[in-house]
Amino acid sequence: MRQEPIGVCGLITPWNFPINPVMRKVAPALAAGCTMVLKPSEISPLSALIIAEIIHDANDTPYGLAAYIQSGKMERARSVARRMRAGNVQINYPSVDRGAPFGGYKQSANGREWGEFGVNEYLEIKGIPGYRAA
């Protein structure tokens, strides 16, 4: 059995509790991989606009320190992780591995901490041609 996104979703939300109904519809649709058209109440449209701006800003960030992927299919999670512009991508919330490199991409800086990669930040490589081991 395989489950796939249903495609474009039309989401209509009420006015009486603006943020909660919007998120109850938007979050699962995004998690499933659907595209959506949201029609908020004409009485309280600003909540939907604010949520749309937050989602846009989160996806268009100049930073790339860490990312998290939750998936029941490890191969899919690894495929997504390889495409993410983040220095550290955690899959299914693993325990901390101090031997794994930690650091960022983009404006999060390119340095690394923890493990061998963290030590390498403080080392320089020197070539000495003609030197023979005794």
The domain of 7 spans 1-54
**Strand, coil or helix: 2:** coil
Measure the CA–CA gap between 80 and 70, rounded to whole angstroms. Answer: 10
pLDDT tens track of the chain, all 134 residues? 677 888 888 888 887 777 888 888 888 888 787 888 888 888 888 888 888 888 777 667 777 777 888 888 899 889 888 888 788 888 988 888 777 777 777 777 666 777 777 777 677 788 878 877 66
Measure the CA–CA gap between 3 and 33, rounded to whole angstroms. Answer: 11
Check the CA dihedral 71-74-80-82 and report its sign. positive
Q: How many domains does the chain have?
A: 2
Residues 48 and 2 in one domain: yes
10 Å CB burial of residue 65 (0-12, 13-18, 19+) is middle
Contact partners, residue 98, CB within 8 Å, separation at least 6: 114, 115
What does the chain come to in residues? 134
To 5 degrees, how large is the angle CA 108–CA 54–CA 15? 165
Residues 71 and 29 in one domain: no
Model pLDDT, residue 59: 65
Decide if 7 is inside a domain: yes
Model pLDDT, residue 110: 64
Residues 68 and 49 in one domain: no
Residues 69 and 117 in one domain: yes
Decide if 133 is inside a domain: no
This prediction's pTM: 0.47
Decide if 86 is inside a domain: yes
Residues 48 and 69 in one domain: no
Residues 13 and 50 in one domain: yes
Q: Count of CB atoms within 10 A of residue 34's CB? A: 16
10 Å CB burial of residue 40 (0-12, 13-18, 19+) is buried
